[in-house]
Amino acid sequence: MNIHENPLIDRKLAIGETIVLGSHRFEAEEIKEFASKYDPQRFHVSEDEAKASVFGRLCASGWHTAAKWMHFNVASYPATLERSKAFGEPIVFGPAAGLRDLKWLKPVYVGDVITFTRTAESHRALSSRPGWRLLTNRCEAFDEDKTPVMQFRALVLMKVG
């Protein structure tokens, strides 16, 4: 469905509105802990080896940055749900169907303070699941200079009622 075809659903899903989800300072310990479990490439687990790599310093796994976005996204769900009640039945959050155009634009280094945002972009009905829609969110992360360090689109199932 074109995003302008159902203004009530657009407003219920806050289409076009950017929500600041929160900020996080990435510390060496957590960078190494995540990487040791899921992405133990040398530039994510060792300061010394990171110096010899293309990155020059210890930096977070891109999947760590993405997972941290999700942490802040989920923390925003109660407020998102509450807000939707102004437009009728509250929305129901479903699982993600996928990610698109995930870009790690800049390394996230130790001590970087990263701010995460979400912007609902568009939605369409799912013929296979009556009442459910597939929502496309633009997901972004910025450093303290407001330079984007990561961006992707998340496709998520949402019961809009």
Partner 1 sequence: MNQKRWAYEDFEVGAEVTFGPRRVVADEMIAFAELYDPQPMHLDEDAGKNSMLGGLSASGFFTASTFMRMMCDAYLLDSTSQGSPGVDYVNFRKPVLAGDVLNGKTIVLGKRPSNTRKGLGFVSVRHELYNQRGELVCDMANTGMFLMREEQAA
Q: Where on the chain is the footprint of partner 1 (CB under 8 A)?
A: 34, 37-41, 43, 52-55, 61-63, 66-68, 70-71, 74, 77, 93-105, 152, 157
d(CA 28, CA 23): 16
Min dist CB 68 to partner 1, Å, is 7
Given the complex with partner 1, which of 7 and 27 has the nearer CB atom? Answer: 27
Q: Which is nearer to partner 1, 14 or 102 (CB)?
A: 102
The residues pairing with 152 across neighbouring beta strands, listed in sequence order, are 139
Q: Nearest approach, Cβ of 4 to partner 1 (angstroms)?
A: 26
Instruction: With beta carbons less than 8 A apart as the criterion, state whether 140 and 116 touch.
Output: yes
Which C-beta is closer to partner 1: that of 12 or that of 62? Answer: 62
* Closer residue to partner 1, CB minimum distance, 55 or 87: 55
Closest CB to partner 1 among residues 25, 37:
37
Backbone angles phi, psi at 25, to 5 degrees: -95, 120
Which one-letter DSSP state was computed for residue 85? G
CB of 145 to partner 1, least distance (A): 20
As measured in angstroms, the least distance from the Cβ of 94 to partner 1 is 6
> How far apart (Å, rounded) are the C-alpha atoms in residues 32 and 40?
8
Residue 147, classed as helix, strand or coil, is coil
- Residue 48 has which token pair? 């010394």
In the complex, minimum distance from the CB of residue 2 to partner 1, in angstroms, rounded to a whole number: 23
Q: If we measure between CA atoms, which residue out of 63, 94, 65 comes closest to residue 77?
A: 94
